[in-house]
Amino acid sequence: MTQAVPQDPAALYGRATPRIDGPAKVTGAARYASDEPVGHPAHACLVTSAIARGRVAGFDLADAQRVPGVLDILTHENVGDALKSSPPGPDGKESTTTLESDRIWHDGQIIAVVVAESFEAARDAARRVVVRYHSETPAGSFDDEGVTEEASKPDSGENPARGDITRGFADAAVQVDAQYATPTQHHNPIELFTTTCVWEGERLTVYEPSQFMHGVKAQLAKQLGIEPRNVRAISRVVGGAFGSKGGGGGRTVWIAIAARRLGRPVKLVASRSQGFTIHTYRAETRHRVRLGATRDGRLTALSHDGQEIGSRPSKYRVGGVDVTARMYASPNIATSTTIVHADRNTPGYMRAPPETPYMFALESAMDELAVALAMDPIELRRVNDTQTDPVSGRPFSSRSLMQCYDAAAARFGWSRRNPAPASMRDGDWMVGYGCATACYPSNVGAGAARLALDATGKASVAIATHEIGTVAATVVAITAARALGIGIADVAVAVGDSDLPAVVVAGGSNNAATAALAVAQACEMVRARLAEAAVAAPDGPLHFADPATLQLAGGALVGPGNRREALADALKRVGGRVEVYAEHVPPGLPPTALRTVEGGESVMRRGTGRDDVTAFAFGAHLAEVRVHRWTREIRVPRSVSAFAAGTIVNPLAAHSQLMGGAIWGISAALHEETELDPRAARYVNDSLEGYLVPVNADVPSVEVIIVPEQDTRVNELGIKGVGELGIVGMNAAIANAVFHATGKRIRELPIRIEDLL
Ligand code: MOS
């Protein structure tokens, strides 16, 4: 690979590049899945369960069928054996079902699909479907009678453990033992969950916002019992996903079945409130964290027990102890993971799924330990910083955690902090400074790309990567432009179509690394082909040069001594155009990894699951919180966060992504909670008016610093990914700042005024 990690840290930065799809998005030209024009579609509306546990005793459809324009109503009583295999959960395994039987697993479950000539007719009829239930008392969350506990493990297969935890606590001069909790949260991407299905004979095209094109294709084929080659999934741009559109939804196949029954395209746009129950969410969690340390702050023991809510049949969990156990140099570690099965829809991945809740617990406990030691909380992190993963004993590929703290602290003015809680005032406002660590494992998967370069110096790249708002297509353009020595405007990029070369799910922040590596590989094939032809040409300026030394730069093929040939001339020698197909499988994955991805399963080389190094990006959040002396109103006037994530492909996009993460962390601390009515196990604020998110006035100053970092071990391009890093730890930084402002430790999110009265 010619595009190795640059030696000069300043060169790690790509140029700030506006997103290439920006004009299409702001002018309305971008086609979201439900915007795709299909001929004469019928419209679907979902009927969802009004109870959380029990069975459907029967339907009365007469009133609904009388609505003018109604074409079909699918229920478990009339769909026969159209479904060959149930839609899986977010982990690809067993989950709650939809129309498979009369069984009701959770409130808001899809139990019928109405299809009509218009959306309005479908919605009207859906409201007139009468459902008779055999209802049972549901158990919705941790404290409800009837939930069941199951011991579980993180994805790595083990709950991390090391040393002798009893001994570790016996050796400790200071201990913290505390319990923490985080709430249910929903992604609420602005683009709703939509599906449009079109059959042409045997062939099905599905337009659906998705983080995994080949996953949709393969899964749908399996559920319908048809050949994968007869399914095409298209999702050119996605209006937000955050993990909610990676899998785990049951609606898609029923729209395909409805369209087949009707012999006509069918389009579904589910409502905002249905989105709370027909897809996944961030499950509520509970934690017990115990820390032991010597007087000088060195950890002697770290124990973390996590509990997560799950649905009845699913074993999905995030298992964040896999991350928290690796954060600091503790010689003795014990962890556990427990799923608590309840009458709920299956949870799923939501931005930094394990890290957001589990790091809240660990980073709150670290702050409590700093207080118990009368030590500065940044110094406590410094004392326990390590370049070695304490669980595996392997080195971190790179770890710039303290550089992040130092950069953020200098910018923030941390030295002005009076260590005593409730000591800083500004008029009627109690002022607190809090900090916490951010981290995210560096993942990479298998990917393929097709690339063509023509004599006019224009390139086109086709890759089934996913533009979920993460500037994925721009990453592809930047990578190709840089490797081919042409302008970004000269690279046309096609993404979001399962007919294009496969890449893994856009999850786990792997996308920038995976797509860039595949595209770089394709560019290298183009370079090599042009170089071979150039050195073999007796009449050319590069005759007899070593082909390995030739580079594509500035619209030319350039050799030693600045001998060069214009790209157009070099291309003439190979017929005026080069087209290549490249596959990239990262070291450590089986050579068949790309075939597995094409088959709809995502395999990734996970930062915590590697056998050579442990790979994480790190960061530090510092936040100022102000709590009003009389009303206890909580404000966050400013935050400063610094991150080191290896090679930054596009500093402009990375900055936005990290800032968005930091804002979401503030939101997770102070705003967001999906409230559950425990009697009905039903979400009660299932709308954007009831589900609080921050507005500009809530986040007046959110600063992001990117600390240069060169990582030659994480992957060939040194890219760690920034998609999820920014949110992690900010919830704890806010809670720690609230403690510093008020002297009151809040261990359950979100923090509300009433918690501080
Ligand atoms: Mo992301 S929550 O891994 O899609």
DSSP letter for each residue of 578-637: EEEEEEE--TTS-TTHHHHHHTT---EE-TTS-SS-B-EEEEEEEEEEEEETTT--EEEE
Amino acid at 188: N
| Rounded distance from Cα 515 to ligand 1 centre (Å) | 16
Q: Enumerate the CATH 3.30.365.10 domain ranges in the chain, comma separated.
A: 9-29+444-605, 353-443+610-756
Q: What is the pLDDT of residues 133-169, one digit of tens each?
A: 999 999 999 999 999 999 999 999 999 999 999 999 9
Q: Is 660 in the pocket of ligand 1 (CB under 6 A)?
A: no
Please indicate whether residue 264, judged by its CB atom, sits closer than 6 Å to ligand 1. Answer: no
pLDDT digit string (tens) for 337-379?
999 999 999 999 999 999 999 999 999 999 999 999 999 999 9
Report pTM: 0.97
Beta-bridge mates of residue 43: 116, 267
Give 244 Cα–ligand 1 centroid separation in angstroms: 8
Any ligand 1 atom below 6 A from CB of 243: yes
Look up residue 103 and give its amino acid. Answer: R
User: Looking at residue 5, what is its pLDDT?
Assistant: 53
Given the residues 565, 624, 724, 748, the one annotated as active site: 724
Burial status of residue 417 (CB atoms within 10 A of its CB: 0-12, 13-18, 19 or more): buried
- Please check the confidence at residue 73 and state whether its pLDDT lies above 60: yes
pLDDT value of residue 14: 74
| Atom number, ligand 1, closest to the C-alpha of residue 509 | 3
Pocket test for ligand 1, best of 210, 724, 725 (most atoms within 8 A of CB): 724
Distance (Å, rounded) from C-alpha 689 to C-alpha 175? Answer: 43
628 phi and psi, to 5 degrees?
A: -70, 135
| Location of each CATH 3.90.1170.50 domain in the chain | 33-136+194-208+248-269
Segment 190-199, tens digit of pLDDT: 999 999 999 9
Please indicate whether residue 728, judged by its CB atom, sits closer than 6 Å to ligand 1: no
- Ligand 1 atom with the smallest distance to the CA of 246 is 4
Options 3.30.365.10, 3.40.50.300, 1.25.50.10, 3.40.50.620; CATH of 353-443+610-756: 3.30.365.10
pLDDT at residue 10, as a whole number: 46
Does residue 508 line the site of ligand 1, with CB under 6 A? yes
Instruction: Give the bridge partners for 45, in sequence order.
Output: 114
Q: Does the N-terminal peptide bond of residue 591 adopt cis geometry, omega within 30 degrees of 0?
A: no
Per-residue pLDDT, averaged over 479-500, amounts to: 96
Produce one character per residue of 133-150: b if its CB has 16 or more CB atoms within 10 Å, e if not.
bebeebbbbbebeebeee
CA of 508 to the centre of ligand 1 (A): 5
Query: Distance between CA 394 and CA 377 in Å, rounded?
Result: 26
724 is catalytic: yes
Architecture of domain 33-136+194-208+248-269: Alpha-Beta Complex (3.90)
Q: Are the beta carbons of 151 and 319 closer than 8 angstroms?
A: no
Q: How do residues 607-649 score in pLDDT, each as one tens digit?
A: 999 999 999 999 999 999 999 999 999 999 999 999 999 999 9
- How many Å apart are CA 86 and CA 100, to the nearest integer? 8
Q: Could you tell me the CA-to-CA distances from 230 to 175, 199, 218, 498 in Å, in that order?
A: 61, 10, 10, 11
Element (H, E) at 177: strand 174-182
Q: In ligand 1, which atom is closest to the CA atom of 211?
A: 4
Pick the CATH number of 9-29+444-605 from 3.40.50.2300, 3.30.365.10, 3.40.50.150, 1.10.630.10: 3.30.365.10
What does DSSP say about strands 424-426 and 429-441: parallel, antiparallel, or unpaired?
A: antiparallel
Q: Hey, what amino acid is at 527?
A: R
pLDDT digits (tens, 9 = 90+) for 28-45: 999 999 999 999 999 999
Per-residue three-class SS string for 293-315: ECCCCCEEEEEEEEEEEECCCCC
